[in-house]
Structure 1
Amino acid sequence: MAGGRLDDPEWLVRADPAEVLAALEGAADRPEVSAAAVYRASSSLHQYLGAGVRRQVLALDAARLGNAGFGARIAGVDVAGEPPSRWTVDWATGALFDPRIRLVIADPASPLACVATAVVDGRPVAVTGSATGTVRMWDLATGLPVGDPMTGHTDDVWAVTTAVLDGRPVAVSGAADGSVRRWDLAAERSTGILIAGVDGKGVVAVATGTVEGRPIAVAGNGKVIRAFDLATGEPMWHVVCAGSFPAQHALATAVVDGRPVVLTDGADGGVEGRMVVVTGSGDETVRIWDPATGLPVGEPLTGHTDCVTAVTTAVVDGRPVVFSGSFDGTVRMWSAATSTEMAPAVFFPEMVGAVAVAPGGQLLVGFDRELACLSPR
């Protein structure tokens, strides 16, 4: 018998994984059966994780199995030598565990390629793109879909971002067919193609911002990053990235020290135009570049151990922050002003392909076929 330990968050986090695994079959009641399911979800990983990382993965798996309350208790466990967990998992899709959710996700065999956030009719939502060529919205409070999938692209949607245009929430998406589309989120429809194709290559990154009061969108493929008027689609400028690796996998905008910047992750390359490029990808780093000088701002942001696949920005405690996600299964939080890491990495049991920050400070993470929503503790 497990002796009442299986539903004890402190024991699950701190105990030797071999001891916990041996006790799982002895679950004595419903809470212990539920806790055993949480531990089994990533049981192949626990023996390789320290208690601090195991705490975070167990909290995530509890939410994936519909027990976010138990996950919050797990996240609150103290681990010797580790700082308190910064994030609580509000919900996670759990498509790998619950067959009902497989019916909700348009293509459960395809990983979520991108995620962004917006407020539509007063409701905070996540906006995602998938390999079905669709864009759709999710209620951040419940994790349930909002409306039907929005169609228009003819190939995989690789990138999505959001903005407000003339007082209405809009999304901008880029796809493998080389097109960039704008969407009216309140009306749940496409408002047309902004770019029909970029050099015949798929668009892997999009972002929005404002330059001298003019709303702009930025789109990137393997080597070129283009800026254009968000309202009209009129081209504005472009950046050509050099180097042997793909130029970028993700794109975001921010303001650092009063300067508008564009943040991407990709390979080291030249910089042209009025923008900042944050490079990474091949060398597993994230870099911020000053467009006025073509020189890097600060030191490379190091810590990832695989390709950086997603980046987004936010203002945290009054400071510009970069969040980056990687194939190494982590999300990292960096100071855009000082190029230093601000908190321990958040670990996920699969590769991270998308990261976004909601207006309320929630962190949206797409990992493999799953989507999770985390709140600061």
Structure 2
Amino acid sequence: MGKVEDPRAEFARRLRALQEATGLSIRRLEIESERTPRRRDEDQIRLKRSTIAGMISRDHPVRPQLPNFEVFVDTCLRVAAEQGNALPPKLGDRIAWDEAYRELRDRVDRYQRRAENPPTAEAPATVLSQGGPRESPRRRVTRRQVLLAAPVALAAAAAAVVVPAVVVRSGSSGGEPGPAVDDGAYSPLGRLLSVPVATDDPVWSVAVGSLRGEPIAMVGRADGTVQLWNPVTGSVRGNPLAAHDQPIFSIVLDSPTAVSASADGTLRRWDLTTDPPTSVRLGDRQPAGVNSVALATVGGQAVAVSAGDDRTVRVWSLATLTLSGTVLGTALDSEVKSVGTGTVGDRPVAVSGSDDGTVRLWDLTGAHPARLLGAHQSTVGTVAVGAVGSTVLAVSGSEDGVINTWDLTSTEPRGTMLGDRIHSAVKTVAISTVKGTIVAIAGSDDGAIRLWDLATRRPYGNGLTGPRKGAESIAAGSQDGRALIVSGHWDGTIWTWSL
């Protein structure tokens, strides 16, 4: 006898089917939701990624609030109409969706009453919908329990995974900017480092470094846990560790210290020398989520630089845990989604990307005000800073499908596009050295991971292949003279390359 299904799970499947049929990623749905008119005389709503993830979750679905449900459905239907995408009748009928939501509210109320008062042997369980009697539901195993029990079994499963040998051409899907650079025939095919530890648990953030001479990768997941791996041997370093209450959108690593940033509004400093690693919160919880974090040295002191949904860029002392981050300048006009750090001359700087598409240069010493470099047409969700010779460059990736480079040593930096526009959102960028060439690595919603020679602005080789889903985060390091690349993906997998 099967157990009664939570009606929220069934509804989440239907919402997920609508999203997939429309072709919208979670990040793109977040952006598009702001353009969707409300049905009543109310303020516009922009859905958060965490809200969308909860509405379509396989493991922990929530009953969406009515305004969020309406904006979700109306956004999908609007985008489908604009793209000329004919949806199946069961997905494209707004009236049917409204009726389904009303039915959901009633069914959830009945389901919760049954969960609070399970039937006894004298009062057999009955089904919520059609069908005969069912057994009362057993105690569900929580996601955290699954996570803690998973690594041993998953290590064996990973060994049996067959990696698909699909080659994706580097460069933009919108046109070829020129022939690829001869890359010395590196192998583009990646190695699967980890299968998902749980369903519906994306790897939002990755960082690469070393610890006691051993390479390490640190990953942050949607369930708020972190975990360490050796990306060369493929061995896991302990179980997932509880860290945050909500998804971890960013991790940065400078061994033996790491910092994680979360949608729960907190940053945590990690000591990787302990076994298992331990963490402490930096300052107070912020009023909104923290989207990105980077490390820098200012005045001889190690600091973290954060980008937040409270529209600020903040600097945090890693030594003084009781202090909250100091706001650089003033709050901006829109949420800050990404930040990267570097040095121009002897001056520590940060580059930020915002929800309104703007890219700014910040002097971390506070001696100079923030400087607007330029703008994309949509959210800049990823930024990286590096150098080609004496030229310090920032690379920004946007929801508009554009990858721009910015010469930070120029008196008048201007954005220069790498290749043509990609007809997909750019989710993550990193900078690395591959066989002596400084390259930008970009992951996008179309599943491709592209490489670009930053000196020539031409595609480098055939990109990186293997993953089935687009990368949410890419980090780069080095091991024995080779570039070590690690990526985290929406499907919960982790991949690695040695180039």
Relative to the length of structure 1, the TM-score reads: 0.64
* Residue matched to 1:306: 424
* Residue matched to 1:46: none
Deviation per CA, 1:110-169: give whole Å up to 9, x if none.
Answer: 1111111121232211100112211110121232320122223122111111013xxxx1
Q: CA RMSD in A?
A: 3.6
Change (3 A) 1:131 1:262: same
**Mapping of 1:138-287 within 5 angstroms?**
138-164=229-255, 169-187=256-274, 188-198=276-286, 200-222=287-309, 223-232=311-320, 235=325, 238=328, 247-248=336-337, 250-255=338-343, 260-263=348-351, 266=354, 267-269=356-358, 271=360, 273-274=362-363, 278-287=395-404
Among 475, 487, 494, which residue is 1:356 paired with?
Answer: 475
- Could you tell me whether the CA contact under 8 Å between 2:428 and 2:442 is conserved in 1? yes
- Could you tell me whether the CA contact under 8 Å between 1:115 and 1:126 is conserved in 2? yes
Aligned residue identity for 1:108: T
Please give the alpha-carbon distance, in whole angstroms, between the structure 1 residues aligned to 2:438 and 2:296: 14
Please give the alpha-carbon distance, in whole angstroms, between the structure 1 residues aligned to 2:342 and 2:461: 20
Deviation per CA, 1:341-360: give whole Å up to 9, x if none.
Answer: 54443354212101011332
* Residue matched to 1:372: 495
* Residue matched to 1:11: none
Identity across matched positions, percent = 26
Please give the alpha-carbon distance, in whole angstroms, between the structure 2 residues aligned to 1:150 and 1:243: 36
Please give the alpha-carbon distance, in whole angstroms, between the structure 2 residues aligned to 1:265 and 1:325: 17
- Could you tell me whether the CA contact under 8 Å between 1:154 and 1:177 is conserved in 2? yes
Aligned residue identity for 2:221: S
Shift of 1:305: 2.8
DSSP 3-state at the match of 1:113: strand
Shift of 1:285: 2.2
Please give the alpha-carbon distance, in whole angstroms, between the structure 2 residues aligned to 1:316 and 1:241: 38
- Could you tell me whether the CA contact under 8 Å between 1:118 and 1:124 is conserved in 2? yes
* Residue matched to 2:49: none
Please give the alpha-carbon distance, in whole angstroms, between the structure 1 residues aligned to 2:399 and 2:162: 38
Please give the alpha-carbon distance, in whole angstroms, between the structure 2 residues aligned to 1:236 and 1:318: 38
- Could you tell me whether the CA contact under 8 Å between 1:263 and 1:288 is conserved in 2? no
- Could you tell me whether the CA contact under 8 Å between 1:254 and 1:262 is conserved in 2? yes
Deviation per CA, 1:158-196: give whole Å up to 9, x if none.
Answer: 1111013xxxx1111011101000111121333311143
* Residue matched to 1:131: 222
Please give the alpha-carbon distance, in whole angstroms, between the structure 2 residues aligned to 1:354 and 1:236: 26
- Could you tell me whether the CA contact under 8 Å between 1:152 and 1:190 is conserved in 2? no
- Could you tell me whether the CA contact under 8 Å between 2:204 and 2:220 is conserved in 1? yes
Where structure 2 has 5 or more consecutive residues not aligned to the other structure, the ranges are 1-157, 168-178, 365-384, 386-393
Please give the alpha-carbon distance, in whole angstroms, between the structure 2 residues aligned to 1:175 and 1:112: 13
Please give the alpha-carbon distance, in whole angstroms, between the structure 1 residues aligned to 2:327 and 2:300: 16
Please give the alpha-carbon distance, in whole angstroms, between the structure 1 residues aligned to 2:211 and 2:427: 27
Change (3 A) 1:224 1:285: farther
* Residue matched to 1:59: none
Where structure 1 has 5 or more consecutive residues not aligned to the other structure, the ranges are 1-62, 76-80, 96-101
Q: Which moved more, 1:298-307 or 1:173-182?
A: 298-307
* Residue matched to 2:375: none
Change (3 A) 1:258 1:142: same
DSSP 3-state at the match of 1:296: coil
Aligned residue identity for 2:450: R
Change (3 A) 1:301 1:212: farther
Larger Rg: 2
Please give the alpha-carbon distance, in whole angstroms, between the structure 2 residues aligned to 1:212 and 1:319: 31
Shift of 1:219: 1.2
What number of residue pairs does the alignment pair up?
Answer: 290
